[in-house]
Chains A and B, each alone.
Chain A
Amino acid sequence: MDIDLSLLHSGTIPEIDITNTYTLTKEYYENTGVLELKDIEVEGKIYRGAAEDEIDEFQDYINCKITGTMIIEDSISLEPVEYPFSAEYDDILEENCKKNENTLDIFQFLWENIVLEIPLQFTKVKDLSKFHGDGWKLIREDELTNSNNPFSDLLKDFKEE
């Protein structure tokens, strides 16, 4: 969705309210681990502020809080699970989120900030006893011992050397 920044740039309005609930289309996250991303609550505004570089006098800034829930795959059970996220942004509006000088693609901006919140691993599984098979079982890291390790003798030799 495009936000028109021309009234802000002309000084007609001091800020643009972007508080709304947005839903990103699947094209944004189809190649990531996110299965669904909807009802993203955004509370904030776009405003003009002093430029940090010497080329322009003013720049566009955005101050907002983004909250929502993404559905991702559980790292252990591979079931879809909800992962709540929250991000705050108060900085210069990056040019790559703009279609042109006066047009902001709000979805592109949201996605660029939400993608940073996708966890590398996330699980809601607490009971690992269900995950076992013929000759293997899933254990927690603190349960890990070397007593049944077939390579333990080899490790001893290494230590002796």
Chain B
Amino acid sequence: MYYKNLYRKEMIKNFIIIGIILFVAVFSTYHIYYAFSNTEEIDYSSTSLDITFHEETGEELDITKITPLTDSVGLSSKGHSITITNNLTEEVNYKIKIVDNEKKMQEQNCVGITIPREEIRVSIKQSGEETEVYKLSDLEDGVILSTRAKALEEEKYTIRIWVNNETSLPSGSKHHYHGLIQVVENDTTVAVR
């Protein structure tokens, strides 16, 4: 009887220990997985569009050191990839805009060291289409692309930003530009981001 009780106690103890170990393993695996997966992709959604930024920087476009580039090198520089998916079974009109990140400019006190917009080039490449290059100052209201997504369509874009090599700013100087990529649904003023 004594040994039976002892055996039962040991079994209960073992089950508790195994349970705790399993709980810790599942809990930590879940958190580690989501910690890593979230650093790479940042999602924003509205009722009609799903927007995924594939870089850690998300919707932010930053130039923190001047490296003037020819357009051919600028077009080979690392881009910011976005996937926009239409969730609806009807067409959705939207615009992609590049706007100043005023909050970050204020935080980093960029007054006086902001790169002039006419010296910044931005390009956008839609998968399967030719790359378009613009002067940032030439973009009307910051709109770099105005398009229509078919029902349930998914589109991938790559946006690149660089300082043109004809800039008057010295190479290596610490002039800044902080911008944001916004996707705005037409006929609304709502920026999905």
Q: Quick check: A18 and B67 within 8 Å, CB to CB?
A: no
Please count how many residues in chain B sit with their CB below 8 Å of the partner chain's CB atoms: 14
Question: Which residues of chain B are within 8 angstroms of A16 by Cβ–Cβ distance?
Answer: 76
Q: Known: A1-B67, A3-B78, A103-B78. Is A23-B171 also a contact (CB below 8 A)?
A: yes
Contact between chains at A20 and B172 (CB < 8 Å): no
Give the chain A neighbours of B146 by CB distance below 8 A. Answer: none
With both beta carbons as reference points, the residue of chain B lying nearest to A39 in the complex is identified as B171
A25 near B78: Cβ-Cβ < 8 Å: no
- Would you call B77 an interface residue if the criterion is a C-beta within 8 Å of the partner chain's C-beta atoms? yes
Give chain B residues whose Cβ lies under 8 Å from the Cβ of A22: 67, 171
A21 within 8 Å of B (CB atoms): yes
State which of B72, B73, B76, B172 has its C-beta within 8 Å of the C-beta of A38. B172
A4, A7, A19, A25: the one within 8 Å of B65 (CB) = A25
Q: Does B142 contact A (CB under 8 A)?
A: no
Residues of B within 8 A of A20 (CB): 68-70, 73, 165
Cross-chain pairs A/B with CB under 8 angstroms, 6 sampled: A4-B77, A16-B76, A17-B72, A18-B73, A18-B76, A20-B68
Interface residues of B (CB under 8 A from A): 65, 67-70, 72-73, 76-79, 165, 171-172
